[in-house]
Amino acid sequence: MRRSGVNQPKVKRLVGKYEIGRTIGEGTFAKVKFAKNSETGEHVAIKILDKEKVLKHKMAEQIKREIATMKLIKHPHVVQLFEVMGSKTKIFIVLEFVTGGELFDKIVSTPFLKKKVNHGRMSENEARRYFQQLINAVDYCHSRGVYHRDLKPENLLLDAYGNLKVSDFGLSALSQQVKDDGLLHTTCGTPNYVAPEVLNDRGYDGATADLWSCGVILFVLLAGYLPFDDSNLINLYKKISSAEFTCPPWLSLDAMKLIARILDPNPMTRITIPEILEDEWFKKDYKPPVFEEQKIANLDDVEAVFKDSEEHHVTEKKEEHPAAMNAFELISMSKGLNLANLFGTEQEFKRETRFTSKCTANEIVNKIEEAAKPLGFDVQKKNYKMRLENVKAGRKGNLNVATEILQVAPSVHVVEMRKAKGDTLEFHKFYKNLSTSLEDVVWKTEEDMQETK
């Protein structure tokens, strides 16, 4: 737990020229941190991998190959990889920081502590524009031998102008290996978006598997819900394998036809990207991006990452600075400060959310644990940080939620909950269920109390 106070120094972590900030994402092998270039002031995202884990799983050569390829890819709808650095224990991949949030934030909204979930959906024109950008990015990367293998909501971002940016292209499935038959054999990805051939464990083509995931994404954009969904994993796999889904009645016939051709369980007869580009529904108002391809990239840093010599290592250090004014000192100086994101019950969240509480930290921990366990979640606790992991039928599930309790004043805490692993839709569903048990923990304003009466 972090404590406020003017006497406590603030620690600044530096990696080379980058000042490292808070965690904005995490996975099995890596964490993604917000960072700032101290020389230019530019904001970036830095993916941090544990070198020991990389070497243990024999992933070094694959990572070198993936990073080298990604440095050659410069496409307006793919998050750009700027550089890669290494220390004695870590690998740092510096990426473009995209500011517009996730695409799915535009269609999924769960009001805080409300009993009803509003499933939004896009108009066909809006969904088509994003789908065109997605297909264009996927087509470009496939033409260069790069396959995503884990297309899902949190990997579809929006820039400041509302344009789609696919993240983690070629980096999200680092442990996959192509075998002698030329096919991939590792079952990966978020279950609801995974192609049936990935589940049958007989090998699959990365291009057709990516295309299936694009079809699921298109369905969600237009319908506002998943085409394949079941709390039982075996039943979910059966639905995917048989392509058991029904399009909502508000979709146009042309949109339904295209979705059906993409969500074909047989990868040999599934529509291809060249065929999608000729589809009448897809072609409407289609404007391929105009950009200059990157033909030369400096790959010296890719090799240097794995060299043991310290001359190739980036420096890591921590600097202490006086602590900034705490939140409530700042509030007292600015009556116009908008605190809706902390206290409002109409708060909309993305892959994370937070609320304020007057309860003690221990009371908050106990209350969250009591609420999470009946929902099928295993709870791990350490230093007022919690990890909630769903456990189904004795097996680890797909959703992990990281929780941290922060003290901003002697009697006030902020609780931050962040999706560490899993599907965005599942996170929203989980939080809706959890929040009903936390009503007596959340600090509500008088206005909020009047609204709930």
Instruction: Show which residues are catalytic.
Output: 150
Residue 93 pairs with which residues in a beta bridge? 47, 84
Whole-number Å distance between alpha carbons of 318 and 56: 28
- By C-alpha distance, which of 31, 108, 149, 169 is closest to 424? 108
Asked whether the beta carbons of 170 and 47 are under 8 A apart, the reply is no
Residue 319 corresponds to which tokens in the numbers above? Answer: 């600097």
The phi and psi torsions of 305 (rounded to 5 degrees) equal: -55, -40
Distance CA 170, CA 412 (A): 43
Q: How far apart are CA 191 and CA 262, in angstroms?
A: 17
Nearest of 64, 214, 222 to residue 139 by alpha carbon: 214
Residue 426 Cα distances to 167, 329, 385, 422, angstroms: 20, 37, 21, 7
CA–CA dist 325, 320 (Å, integer): 15
Amino acid at 41: G
Contact by Cβ (8 Å): 23, 45: no
C-alpha separations of 206 from 143, 177, 243, 424 in Å: 12, 11, 19, 23
Q: Please say whether the beta carbons of 381 and 365 come within 8 A.
A: yes
Residues pairing with 405 in the sheet: 415
How far is Cα 271 from Cα 360, in angstroms, rounded to an integer?
56
Tokens 């092998």 belong to 29
Handedness of CA 151, 98, 62, 74 (dihedral sign): positive
Closest CA to 17 of 85, 99, 96: 85
- Count of CB atoms within 10 A of residue 304's CB? 16
Q: Which residue has the tokens 């080298």?
A: 68
Contacts of 163 (CB under 8 A, 6+ apart): 76, 77, 133
Cα–Cα nearest to 38, from 22, 59, 60, 16: 16
